[in-house]
Amino acid sequence: MLRYILKRLLYVLPVALGVSIVCFLLVHITPGDPLTAIMPIDATAEQQAEMRAAYGFDKPLPVQYAIWLGKVLTGDLGTSIATGRAVASDVMRAVGNTIILSAVATLIGFFFGCLFGFVAGYYRDTLLDRAASIISVLGVSVPHYWLGMVLVIVFSVQMNWLPATGAGPGGSVDWAWDWVHMRHLILPAITMSVIPMGVIARTVRALVAEILSQEFILALAAKGLTDRGIFAHVVKNAAPTALAVMGLQLGYLLGGSILIETVFSWPGTGFLLNAAIFQRDLPLLQGTILVLAMFFVALNLLVDVLQTALDPRIQRS
């Protein structure tokens, strides 16, 4: 097992290096100059040259990448052009809020997705199967930003049950595990959980239906194993794939929550990315994308290790 983990870690290193190159180049090939957002309109050529030299934009791209990567490895993601604050502090605060929101949304989606998937798989071609399948298809098909606005209108505006924006009272960006703050988490978490719920439900439904049709299930039933015992075997065989799908969905939510966080003004990485894009804040954009990409790589590694722990056949293959 240790050898397998070390092998996967070696695979992660070139992937992480490639991700850093892509993150660096993506924001450099966009049209326009990000420094125009902070330079005066009547800035002279000398002032523009000084500003470009201060941010290192006067050097060739390979040199800029080497300097940037060296700072990143020490935890320095640069300084925000728009605010003048350290990018690392803003990104880490936003990442913490996004992880909270994405983790809760993924757990909700995983629970209900597995529930609907197992029900549909066990009772396939019945009314329960059709109902669960319809719910999963709607979960994947409904635009989540539209669903978020509908939930805000219903539960915040009309019923006044739940707050619509922010992570705490008065638009606070600091999170605390109490009911006052958790009320702000309910609507965005439910909105974000719809897509992973639909994906996991459809995946688990197909897995359960396939497992139940295999010969070892018939052999277990012929030996007199109870339904509870058969169910345990089905869960054990479906768990690695379901776990992999959950890990991927969590990674997608970490990087794709920009619309939800904008709708609910949730102070996470999506909200931060939205601000960085409109302000053309290159260091903030680079740092946020890089941190999210590294989280995705780390999640894939964690899911691989957990899959191997659940199913040793993966390691042997």
Summarised one tens digit per residue, pLDDT across range 147-197 is 888 888 998 888 888 888 777 776 666 777 778 888 888 888 888 888 888
Average pLDDT of 253-259? 71
What does the pLDDT look like over 23-66, one tens digit per residue? 888 767 766 666 666 666 777 777 777 777 776 777 788 888 88
| Domains of the chain, residue spans | 100-279
- The lowest-confidence range among 137-141, 204-208, 305-309 is 305-309
Residue 40's pLDDT is: 67
Dist. CA 258–CA 94, nearest whole Å: 12
Confidence of residue 218 (pLDDT cuts 50, 70, 90): confident
**Residue for token digits 């739940």?**
162
pTM listed for this prediction:
0.73
| pLDDT at 220 exceeding the cut of 60 | yes
- The lowest-confidence range among 87-91, 94-98, 163-167 is 163-167
Q: 265 or 54: which carries more pLDDT confidence?
A: 265
The mean pLDDT of the chain is 79
Percent of the chain at pLDDT > 90 equals 0
Confidence of residue 144 (pLDDT cuts 50, 70, 90): confident
**Contact residues for 266 (Cβ-Cβ < 8 A; gap 6+):** 97, 98, 101, 165, 166, 167, 188, 257, 260
| pLDDT at 314 exceeding the cut of 60 | no
Dist. CA 317–CA 315, nearest whole Å: 5
Does the domain formed by 100-279 have CATH 1.10.3720.10? yes
